[in-house]
């Protein structure tokens, strides 16, 4: 059952911009749930593209946290503490996500070099970098 909307400000857009998020109320438990668009993560105020840029700069491009912070500051984006938090969360989940990706590849594309124990994945050094 529809239960209205709420306005959510998004960091990373021009000041004053936000989105309206649809809410529903469960008839069984009376809790409300919201449906966020795919460019917004739950419990994160920054757009997915901004979080992705920071993670890619750190892990794929192997930039230092100071370099990631410098690039972010030029764009008026998050402070170092937030950037490092995103990095910890990503690195902590990378192993599980990589396993899921490899299982999907094994079912769809078994000759993929990412499944080869001697392939590129092994040479990258960390699950966080391999996943990107």
Average pLDDT of each block of 10 consecutive residues along the chain (132 residues)?
76 68 88 79 75 89 90 79 90 85 75 59 68 72
pLDDT score, position 72: 81
52 with 100, same domain: the answer is yes
Where would I find the H helices in the chain?
48-55, 65-74, 80-108, 120-123, 127-131
Q: Are residues 72 and 11 in the same domain?
A: no
- pLDDT reported for residue 113: 64
Specify whether 57 is located in the same domain as 102: yes
Task: Check: CB of residue 58 under 8 Å from CB of residue 51.
Answer: no
Based on the fold, state whether residues 54 and 102 are members of the same structural domain.
Answer: yes
Same domain, 73 and 16: no
pTM for the full predicted model: 0.64
Regarding whether 81 and 24 lie in a shared domain, the answer is: no
Structure tokens at 87: 């990095």
The domain of 74 spans 46-132
How many domains does the chain divide into? 2
Q: Specify the pLDDT at position 43.
A: 65
Q: In what order do the strands lie in the sheet with 18-25?
A: 2-9, 18-25, 32-35
């Amino acid at each position: 059952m529809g239960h209205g909307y709420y306005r959510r400000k998004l960091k990373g857009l021009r000041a004053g911009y936000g989105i309206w998020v649809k809410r529903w109320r469960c008839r069984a438990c009376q809790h409300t749930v919201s449906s966020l668009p795919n460019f917004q993560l739950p419990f994160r105020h920054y757009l997915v593209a901004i979080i992705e840029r920071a993670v890619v700069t750190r892990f794929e491009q192997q930039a230092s946290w100071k370099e990631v912070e410098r690039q972010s500051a030029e764009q008026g984006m998050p402070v170092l503490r937030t950037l490092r938090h995103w990095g910890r969360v990503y690195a902590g989940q990378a192993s599980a996500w990589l396993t899921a990706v490899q299982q999907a590849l094994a079912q769809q594309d078994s000759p993929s070099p990412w499944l080869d124990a001697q392939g590129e994945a092994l040479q990258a050094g960390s699950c966080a970098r391999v996943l990107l």
